[in-house]
Amino acid sequence: MPVAPPVGGVSGRSLPVSLLVSLRPEQWTKNVVVFAALGFGMHLFDPVAFARTVLAFIVFCGLSGVVYLVNDVADCEADRSHPLKALRPIACRDLSTRTALAAAAVIGAACLGLAFRLGVPFGIVSAVYVMLLAAYSFWLKHVVILDVMTLAIGFVLRAVAGAVVVQVEIGHWLLVCTILLALFLALSKRRHEMVLLSDGAANHRPILAEYTPYLLDQMIGVVTASTLISYIFSTISPETVQKYHTDWLGLTIPFPLYGIFRYLYLVHRREGGGSPTAMLTNDRPLLVCVALWAIAVVVIIYRPAAF
- Quick one: pLDDT band at residue 3, thresholds 50, 70, 90? very low
Give the chain's length.
307
pLDDT, position 8: 46
Q: What is the pTM of this model?
A: 0.87
Chain-centroid distance, C-alpha 247: 29
Specify the amino acid at residue 1: M
pLDDT, position 88: 84
pLDDT, position 74: 84
* Cβ contact 170:40 at 8 Å: no
Mean pLDDT, range 77-91, rounded to an integer: 77
pLDDT value at 249 more than 60: yes
Chain-centroid distance, C-alpha 256: 17
pLDDT value at 85 more than 90: no
pLDDT, position 272: 64
Max CA distance (Å), the chain: 64
- Quick one: pLDDT band at residue 65, thresholds 50, 70, 90? very high
Mean pLDDT, range 271-293, rounded to an integer: 83
Task: Using alpha carbons, select from 260, 274, 127 the residue that is nearest to residue 197.
Answer: 274
The whole-angstrom separation of Cα 13 and Cα 19 is 9
pLDDT, position 199: 63
Mean pLDDT, range 98-119, rounded to an integer: 95
pLDDT in tens, 15-51: 889 999 999 998 899 999 999 999 999 999 999 999 9
* Cβ contact 186:152 at 8 Å: yes
pLDDT value at 158 more than 90: yes
Mean pLDDT, range 246-271, rounded to an integer: 91
pLDDT, position 294: 95
Which of 1-10, 62-71, 83-92, 260-269 has the least mean pLDDT? 1-10
Higher pLDDT: 148 or 2? It is 148
The whole-angstrom separation of Cα 173 and Cα 177 is 6
- Quick one: pLDDT band at residue 306, thresholds 50, 70, 90? very low
Mean pLDDT, range 249-263, rounded to an integer: 95
Task: Using alpha carbons, select from 94, 76, 99 the residue that is nearest to residue 10.
Answer: 94
pLDDT, position 5: 44
